[in-house]
Chain A
């Protein structure tokens, strides 16, 4: 036994090292994601036996008005989130100065990123409160009345997504700060000699060097927008009248509240497909970037 071990340990030990992580990740994360696709072909209440229904869940989904509301809201989230990279870049440019005291200000900008999304949800529930929120304070200063954003079917998704933007901007800001710190000083100096300043310098000398970080910021933001769930659960529970659901939230509702696990799995599968397209695009971009670096 020990001889076999000694002869083979040079490859057996690495295998043993790899296995715990691989098995756990493979069985809990990857297998579960694939199993969802399988469940989506069944009618299932979550406890009893599954009944095979083929594509019936998807057919029903295609006729479900709520599905289109969720899809539309996912797109709204995506569009609003696209503000995060430019605002994050702007903030990064503002704080990228070496002045005593700037470091602590920088860290204060990052705080929203460290907060739980539940905390952000509670904080913004407070901002949007029509009686005493910050928004009302702002409107009141001009003699107006703030709209009750969270109970307004038209504005609710915009309001929730705007709240979600807060930590996302901080995330993009961190990424761009790292990018700004690795700028090529020679190119900047050359640009200055050529008389490039301000906007033109940013556009023609700085931004091209930030393209890789920018790509990552956009990709992380897209994935963040598609993942949105917590803020909706905390701030609106999908309401009023289901007007603020997204695919992730609708899926949770159908499964946990209505015990329609098969139908929920079908919604999850649609989200899965959308996500895989983005993940593939992201990984592809990264591999390209890595090759051009090497």
Chain B
């Protein structure tokens, strides 16, 4: 271990160390804590200039109620779910298939195809913006959730293929030889060997893809216009323009947007970290 572990019996040292790290975390998250604090303040207090003092009155419920009732955030929130969930499912299905083939059926050109998936995944979004927007307009999908779903599935499949291919390639080869010896068809191998074994990888991939798609802003503003289809990220930015002086409402909406990925992260933290490091490290 590096740095050298603080010995178990050095209780005071350990406690001191933990409290200093806690202090660093508080400083690290201070910008976010400030927004959280503001989201429970009343508008009068903000008007009076009490931005940093202890709130005299807690308006947590009022502020969040205002977000639900007076803004379209709930609609945006539903839109985000309508976009994110099908995208995640689509990515998981497609990448299990591509990852399986690219790891277990070597053929001439399979490395090239794999390289295309990996390389394409690093392209910045702006490079494909104009043709993708044009394509969605021509398909009649522009300004619908389908435009975002199709794009996100296509784009995330690049990273997801890399991820699944590496995972399936690391599974014990004997399983696949046994399946072949038993005369299992590729479909049966997929169903009875691959799918049961890749569950942990799928969990990691699901949380990563969820976060990526939920947090997308660029494609939301390029492919949608109307409030009826806009996801929360684009909605939040609009809200900020409309409610310029009501910082408590904007802050509450900000926390509302941040909540799903943060909650998902804390629920599936191990998968998230493992997925991210595996994706990048083995990349």
**For residue B34, which residues in chain A have a CB less than 8 angstroms away from its CB?**
123, 126-127, 134
A183 to chain B: closest residue by CB:
B2
**For residue A223, which residues in chain B have a CB less than 8 angstroms away from its CB?**
122, 124
Interface residue ranges, A against B (CB under 8 Å): 9-11, 13-15, 17-18, 20-22, 24-33, 35-36, 39, 46, 91, 93-102, 105, 107-112, 114-119, 121-127, 132, 134, 137, 166, 171, 174-175, 177-178, 180, 183, 185, 188, 192, 201-202, 205-206, 212-213, 216, 220, 223, 226-227, 229-230, 233-234, 247-248, 251-252, 255-256, 261, 264-265, 268-269, 271-272, 275, 279, 282-283, 286
B51 to chain A: closest residue by CB:
A132
Contact between B237 and A234 (Cβ–Cβ < 8 Å)? yes
Nearest-neighbour CB distance to chain B for A25, whole angstroms, equals 5
A213 and B157 CA atoms in complex are apart in Å by 24
Contact between A122 and B254 (Cβ–Cβ < 8 Å)? yes
**For residue B171, which residues in chain A have a CB less than 8 angstroms away from its CB?**
none
Interface residue ranges, B against A (CB under 8 Å): 1-6, 14, 17-18, 21-22, 24-25, 28-32, 34-35, 38, 49, 51-52, 94-95, 97-98, 100-102, 105, 113, 115-120, 122-132, 134-135, 150-151, 153-155, 157-158, 161, 185-187, 190, 211, 214-218, 221-222, 232-234, 236-237, 240, 247, 250-251, 254, 257-258, 261-262, 264-266, 269, 272-273, 276-277, 280-281, 283
**For residue A24, which residues in chain B have a CB less than 8 angstroms away from its CB?**
94, 150, 153-154, 157
Q: Chain B at the A interface: mostly helix, strand, loop or mixed?
A: helix
**For residue A36, which residues in chain B have a CB less than 8 angstroms away from its CB?**
127-131
Contact between A116 and B257 (Cβ–Cβ < 8 Å)? yes
Nearest-neighbour CB distance to chain A for B192, whole angstroms, equals 14
Nearest-neighbour CB distance to chain A for B235, whole angstroms, equals 9
Contact A14-B215, Cβ < 8 Å, known A183-B2, A275-B127: no
Contact between B22 and A105 (Cβ–Cβ < 8 Å)? yes
Contact between A26 and B32 (Cβ–Cβ < 8 Å)? no
Which residue from A26, A109, A114, A134 sits with its C-beta under 8 Å from B261?
A114
A100 and B94 CA atoms in complex are apart in Å by 41
A283 and B119 CA atoms in complex are apart in Å by 8
Contact between A268 and B3 (Cβ–Cβ < 8 Å)? no
Contact between B265 and A110 (Cβ–Cβ < 8 Å)? yes
**For residue B154, which residues in chain A have a CB less than 8 angstroms away from its CB?**
24-25, 27-29
A39 to chain B: closest residue by CB:
B130
A180 and B254 CA atoms in complex are apart in Å by 34
**For residue A118, which residues in chain B have a CB less than 8 angstroms away from its CB?**
215, 217, 233-234, 236-237, 257
Point out which of B14, B100, B131 has the most chain A C-beta atoms below 10 A from its C-beta. Answer: B131
**For residue A102, which residues in chain B have a CB less than 8 angstroms away from its CB?**
18, 21
Contact between B135 and A32 (Cβ–Cβ < 8 Å)? yes
Contact between B120 and A115 (Cβ–Cβ < 8 Å)? no
**Can you identify 27 A-B contacts, CB atoms within 8 angstroms?**
A9-B186, A18-B98, A18-B102, A18-B113, A28-B132, A28-B150, A33-B127, A94-B24, A97-B5, A107-B266, A109-B25, A111-B265, A114-B265, A115-B258, A122-B250, A132-B52, A171-B276, A175-B277, A178-B277, A185-B1, A234-B237, A251-B129, A255-B130, A264-B129, A271-B127, A282-B122, A283-B115
